């Protein structure tokens, strides 16, 4: 996994970026998911809690970057890659690169 623009990143949850065209990078994403899944199992078994008393669990979040096929904005006629929420149009399937994050999961 490659870390991209680390000086501009303010998130401590960022793990790295992977190319969707690279088979080994996608295998690494599955390895990260497997590690987090195993870690969550151990945390559940030990009844681990955070400082507020909530159950301690984690989740892997994938954010698509660098759209492969851009959508045409119907109002301006210009190609766009992201929606107003900052998510890639077309999701991870339309991504050339994926940023991998590990966030703490909260059950409200």
Report yes or no on 101 lying in a domain: yes
**How many structural domains are present in the chain?**
1
Nearest to 71 by CA among 84, 88, 85, 86: 88
| pTM of the predicted protein model | 0.81
Residuewise pLDDT in 10s, the chain (108 residues): 666 665 666 778 888 889 999 999 999 999 999 999 999 999 999 999 988 888 999 999 999 988 899 989 889 999 989 888 888 888 889 899 999 999 998 876
Range of 23's domain?
14-105
pLDDT of the residue at 103: 93
The sign of the torsion formed by the CA atoms of 94, 15, 39, 35 equals: positive
């Amino acid at each position: 996994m490659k870390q991209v623009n680390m000086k501009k990143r303010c998130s401590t949850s960022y793990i790295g970026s992977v190319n969707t065209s690279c088979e080994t990078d996608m295998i690494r994403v599955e390895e990260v998911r497997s590690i987090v899944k195993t870690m969550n199992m151990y945390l559940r078994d030990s009844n681990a809690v955070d400082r507020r008393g909530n159950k301690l669990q984690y989740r892997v979040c994938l954010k698509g970057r660098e759209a492969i096929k851009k959508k045409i904005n119907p109002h301006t006629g210009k190609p766009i890659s992201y929606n107003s929420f900052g998510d890639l149009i077309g999701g991870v399937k339309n991504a050339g690169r994926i940023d991998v994050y590990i966030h703490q999961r909260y059950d409200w």
